[in-house]
Structure 1
Amino acid sequence: MRNSHLKTVRRELREDSRLFFGKTKLTAKALGQTAEEELAPGIHRLTPFLTGSVGLLLTNRPPHAVVDFFAGLTKVDFARAGAVAPRSFTIPPGVVYSTAGEVPAENDVPLEHTIEPELRKLGVPTRMRKGKVVLGDDDGEGDGYLICKEGDVLDSRQTRLLKLFSICMSEFRVKVVAYWSAASGEVTEIKASSMEGIEKD
Structure 2
Amino acid sequence: MPKSKRSKLVSLTKVDKKTREHKNALLAEVQQNAEKWKYCWLFEVGAMRNSHLKTVRNLWKDSARIFFGRAAVMAKALGTTPAEEHRPGVHKLAQQIKGQVGLLFTDTEPQEVIEWFDDFRQPDFARSGNLASRTVILPAGPVMRVHSDPPEPFPHNEDPQLRKLGLTTTMNRGVPTLGAPHKICEKGKALTAEQAQLLKLIGEKMVVFRVALMARWDSATELVTQIEGGCLSAEEQVVDEEEAGEEDEEMSG
Tell me whether the two structures share a fold, i.e. TM-score over 0.5. Answer: yes
Q: Which amino acid aligns with 1:180?
A: W
Structure 1 distance, partners of 2:81, 2:229, is 26
Q: Deviations over 1:116-174 (max 9, x none)?
A: 110011121001121111110xxxxxx31111011110011100000000100000011
Aligned to 1:196: none
Aligned to 1:62: 109
Identity of aligned residues (%): 42
Match 2:120 to one of 73, 85, 93: 73
Residue 154 in structure 1 maps to residue 197 in structure 2? no
2:52 aligned counterpart, secondary structure: helix
Residue 181 in structure 1 maps to residue 193 in structure 2? no
Query: Contact 2:167 / 2:182 at 8 angstroms: preserved in 1?
Result: yes
Q: Which amino acid aligns with 2:167?
A: V
Aligned to 2:73: 26
Structure 2 distance, partners of 1:165, 1:116, is 13
Shift of 1:49: 2.2
CA RMSD in angstroms, aligned pairs only:
1.6
Structure 1 distance, partners of 2:130, 2:75, is 28
Q: Deviations over 1:71-109 (max 9, x none)?
A: 00011000011100010011110122222xx89xx9422
Q: Which amino acid aligns with 2:209?
A: F
Residue 172 in structure 1 maps to residue 209 in structure 2? yes
Aligned to 1:52: 99
Q: Which amino acid aligns with 2:171?
A: M
Aligned to 1:109: 152
Q: Deviations over 1:47-69 (max 9, x none)?
A: 23212321000111111111111
2:153 aligned counterpart, secondary structure: coil
| TM-score between both structures, scaled by the size of structure 1 | 0.87
Query: Contact 2:142 / 2:153 at 8 angstroms: preserved in 1?
Result: yes
Structure 1 distance, partners of 2:89, 2:151, is 58
What is the aligned residue count? 183
More helix by share: 2
Structure 2 distance, partners of 1:153, 1:22, is 25
Aligned to 2:177: 134
Structure 1 distance, partners of 2:185, 2:172, is 26
Query: Contact 2:122 / 2:209 at 8 angstroms: preserved in 1?
Result: yes
Query: Contact 2:132 / 2:206 at 8 angstroms: preserved in 1?
Result: yes
Q: State which drifts further: 123-132 or 75-84.
A: 123-132
Shift of 1:4: 0.3
| TM-score between both structures, scaled by the size of structure 2 | 0.69
Unaligned runs of 5+ in 2: 1-47, 231-253
Shift of 1:15: 0.5
Query: Contact 2:69 / 2:100 at 8 angstroms: preserved in 1?
Result: no
Aligned to 1:198: none
Unaligned runs of 5+ in 1: 137-142, 194-201
Structure 2 distance, partners of 1:96, 1:2, is 28
Aligned to 1:91: 138
Higher relative contact order (CA 8 A, sep 6+): 2
